[in-house]
Amino acid sequence: MKILVCISNVPDTTSKITFSNDNTIFNTTGVQFIVNPYDEIALSKAIALTEGGKGSITVINVGEATTEPTIRKALATGADNAVRVNAFPRDSWFVAKQIAHFADGKDFDLILLGRESIDYNGNQVASLVGELLNIPSISIAKKIDITENTAIVEREIEGGKEIINVSLPIIVGTAEGVAEPRIPNMRGIMSARTKPLEVVEPIDVPLLVKVVQYEIPPSRGAVTLVDASSPEKLVELLHTQARVI
């Protein structure tokens, strides 16, 4: 099986987020970047599907040279080779076009990526790549089983779950439950240094979206503690201050 895993380079959730240039540019100074957690799930599933010589895994990232430590971590985790599209990932459409251009004609049986990245939470790339390559795309997948040329994918829907039987090739956006993220071992870390990482130049994509301004959410207000023996006080506060009843 030939699998392509798309990975994003995202800020660690513990990072302090600030903006510069009149709040139009995300300030990366001092920010620790990691593999997008949902993409880690996708990579772990790909490793499970190819264990024992059952296939190969290529990871692809759309990003500048600063993302290469993240790519090397994916190689250390178990990917066989990697590709970096040498461009800033300005929006989902741009990223999807780069991935689809690379994947077109390479006969990948399965394309995996996280349901969304934890920075912009767009949940768009999987469906866009599927449309561009004219193959089925399924997102928010909770379980993936592959039998020969067929995939059975379980996904979340409102109020329940949906089970889809589909022929390969497909693209799937993974969520929690598909696989447990793997931690690179020492052997993987050492081998990642020699695994191939190809850098390709991006294709031109018209600019459709422009960031006008970023804004920090307002800080949370003070917390009011109510003694458990005074439920009537809680009801009063919910009515007069929170105005939810």
pTM: 0.86
Q: What is the pLDDT of residue 55?
A: 94
| pLDDT tens for each residue of 4-29 | 999 999 999 888 888 998 898 888 88
Does 221 or 23 have the greater pLDDT score?
A: 23
Set out the domains of the chain in order of their start, with CATH numbers.
2-217 (3.40.50.620)
| pLDDT tens for each residue of 116-127 | 999 888 889 999
Q: Among 127-131, 165-169, 212-216, which is the least confidently predicted range? A: 212-216
- Is pLDDT at 221 greater than 80 in this prediction? no
- Is pLDDT at 66 greater than 90 in this prediction? yes
Q: What is the pLDDT of residue 113?
A: 97
Mean pLDDT of the chain: 93
Q: How confident is the model at residue 169 (pLDDT cuts 50, 70, 90)?
A: very high
**Average pLDDT of span 128-145:** 96
**Gyration radius of the chain over CA positions:** 21
Can you tell me the distance from the alpha carbon of 36 to that of 187, in angstroms, rounded to the nearest whole number? Answer: 23
